[in-house]
Amino acid sequence: MKAFDPQLTLLDTSAEWCSFSHIATGKSTQINTWESSIVVDGMHCTACAINIENALKKTPGVLQADVNAASHRGRVVWCEDVTLPSHWMQAIVDAGYSARPAHDALRLEQRKKESRLALWRWLVAGLCMMQVMMYAMPEYVALPGEMTDEARHLMRWASWVLTLPVILFSCKPFFASAWLDLQHRRVSMDLPVALGMAITFIVSTLGTFDSGGQWGREVYFDSLTMFVFFLLTGRWLELRMRDRTAGALEALMNRMPESALRLLPSGEFERVLLRQLVIGDTVRVAVGEAFPADGVVLDGATHADEALLTGESKPIAKAAGDAVIAGSHNLDSSVTVRIEQIGEHTRFSQIVRLMEQASLEKPNLAQLADRLAKPFLIGILLVAGLIIALGWSKDPSHALMVAVAVLIVTCPCALSLATPAAMLASAGALAKKGVLIRHLQALETLSKVDTLIFDKTGTLTEDGLVLAKVEARIGMSQAMACQLAGLLAADSLHPISKSIVAYCQQNAAPLPAWQIIFKTEAAGRGITAEVGVPNRTAIYQWGSAEFCGVKPLQTTAVQAHLSDAHGWLASFEFQERVRADAAQTLAALQGARISVQLLSGDSQLATQHLANQLNIANYRGLCTPDIKLDMLQDLQKQGHVVGMVGDGLNDGPVLAGADVSFAFGRAVPLTQSKSDFLVLGSQLEHIALTVQQAKRTMRVVKQNLVWALVYNAAAVPLAIMGYLPAWLAGIGMAGSSLLVVGNAMRLRKI
């Protein structure tokens, strides 16, 4: 049996893999199947990502593998009955790369060590390059007869000696990766680059050892050291830029502490790891620390920074009885908290999972680049071989150096990075504003949207509704009507149901003698329940006028109704407030030539009243989710690209059917939302901001793609014709990738 790295086998217990994995869900998911998030080191291009995916998929027990070359993150779906983390991680190691858990703080020192080593390789290449250039300069500037053969030969030997550290130390990652490519019969960016380096060094070495032979006319140590230095410079800067681009996810994940102070029965506190916490534990959170789980403050008062979790930029006051969110920071004073949710059930874990999902997704344009990358690299190798074959008889040295220039200059890095770098930069910037992207492809779709449909209650209006008026049938008091409505509405997530429940909790006593026997909810319409009352049972309905079979009130207020077997029982009117930024947001969207429509389940009169307030020309009330979906599909059939903005509760089918959709994350569990974008806070203006950012993103993507194509179209013919020396090819290759990533970084600021 194959031996595995002892460090990897430490991950083979469920207590360890649960820290970076969760139980996989889906229609085709097998029993005991996990989905793990990892970070992969040693990748340099899209071909690397494809190689890693192939290595993982060949491992027994691995059901699915996705690796993103731009974010260096991977997702592995595996069955614990067949394999373990050490097995499939070893497959990545055997493929020439390394992997670590996405949430592994213990590998930080290893990352620093690898970063320092990369810096040393760059410094050695730079110092040797400068010395080699000094020795090469006399041969370039000397007039015929001014430099003796002995002096020229001495300069070449000195250059050869100084190039050895570059080849043996600085170039080691290129050669190691290329050797693994050859062993596995695959191709990646490092293979043509390493071939170019090896050919240049061999040709120059032959010219140094036999200066009078056919290779002695010219040596290329200066070109070799120069393009190695520029390649390493490009990779170093690209790494730094990529880390900054993905900074929102890293910043979010690094907010969680490694341990917490848990209260013992003796009254003392002990420090334990987060995975040792259980629901019901009491922990103390000091000033400056992050809350380790979702919970409720028991003692103390403070302010919490929830900016990266809810989108709220201002610190939020927390006192006894207030809820706190895992990952938010305690700003003022020490508090004790009772744990109510831990691990993957916390809001923090849901947000991290959504951000990881976005960082792994490959948009359509990126998938196209992925499909082209490998054939393109193979084509480069064939073209280089053809150049050598055609030019060998005339001038072998020149033919080899032209082939080297072609191998280096035509690397498709810029093309592969053009789309994902821009979209990841935007995803990170939007996350800092409190907007999570579930699917990166949605950015491209959103940039084309010409129609946005808005829900009313909880979307254009505030989440909370206030009960303003109650009318009840003779024989039923208003208090009893409210209590019955609260009983039926309990556990519903609809804003009206939540409002009546909140009213009952504040103003009415419970009904211990009444009991729900069964209850069903029609999304967006109402609730039907059989209620056990003293000595009998009765069927009640709570919801819209149509659902309850009653006549709606002629009012602009939001209304709900109760009915039983005898008909109308009670009606309720709720006051709602338009969001403060609703008018500004809709004006901005209309200014961007996006048609705004309002579809609501409330009465036509209430819907018209709000539409007039917000200057919305197209509106309709009394809309069930089915009616909303039909109207959306009619717009799509007319050729419109339609977006939907809802609260994520009763608008699930419409959100799923829209070309692109938004939901407010506070209104619905994040993992249940059908939307492409989740607005964590309450700012409606983030809708317009996201639309604007999507348009900016696609402009940058197009700029990057145009540059990558123009660069290759111009550089390849020059290299083939021999007008592009190896050192300039190295600058072109590195500069091309840096330009693409640097252009994408402009999207980090909104």
Residue boundaries of the structural domains of the chain: 6-102, 111-247+357-422+702-748, 256-289+294-341, 434-461+579-693, 466-575
Q: What's the CATH class of domain 466-575? A: alpha beta
Q: How far apart are CA 174 and CA 197, in angstroms?
A: 9
Query: Is residue 345 within 8 Å of residue 322, measured between CB atoms?
Result: no
Domain 466-575 in the same topology as domain 434-461+579-693: no
Q: How far apart are CA 712 and CA 708, in angstroms?
A: 6
Backbone angles phi, psi at 212, to 5 degrees: -95, -5
C-alpha closest to that of 521 among 537, 504, 499, 497: 497
Q: What is the mean pLDDT of each run of 10 residues along the chain (750 residues)?
A: 63 77 66 83 74 89 83 84 88 84 60 78 91 82 74 86 93 85 75 84 84 68 82 72 54 70 89 84 89 90 78 78 86 90 77 67 64 73 84 80 78 70 82 82 91 88 83 90 91 85 78 81 88 85 92 85 94 88 92 92 86 92 85 92 80 82 68 73 88 93 85 81 75 76 83
Q: How far apart are CA 389 and CA 400, in angstroms?
A: 9
CA 110 to chain centre: 24
Residue 346, judged by CB atoms within 10 A of its CB (0-12, 13-18, 19+), counts as buried
Q: Where on the phi/psi map is residue 177: left (φ > 0), alpha (ψ -120 to 50), or beta?
A: alpha
The residue with tokens 């003392």 is 268
Query: Is residue 532 within 8 Å of residue 517, measured between CB atoms?
Result: yes
Q: What's the CATH class of domain 256-289+294-341? A: mainly beta
Q: What is the pLDDT of residue 110?
A: 60
Model pTM score = 0.68
For 371, residues 6+ apart whose C-beta sits below 8 A from its C-beta are: none
Taking residue 213's Cβ as centre, other Cβ atoms within 10 Å add up to 10
The beta strands (E) that lie in 565-612 are given as 567-575, 595-599
The residue with tokens 């293979």 is 191
Cα-based distances in Å from 374 to 49, 97, 412? 11, 18, 9
DSSP 167: I
For 211, residues 6+ apart whose C-beta sits below 8 A from its C-beta are: 149, 152, 153, 156
| Geometric angle at alpha carbon 329, from 327 and 334, rounded to 5° | 120
Alpha helices in 95-211 (DSSP H): 108-141, 149-165, 172-183, 190-209
Note the CATH number of domain 6-102: 3.30.70.100
Q: What is the pLDDT of residue 165?
A: 94
The residue with tokens 């050291």 is 225
Note the CATH number of domain 434-461+579-693: 3.40.50.1000
Rounded to whole angstroms, the maximal C-alpha distance in the chain is 120
- Segment (H or E) for 527: strand 526-533
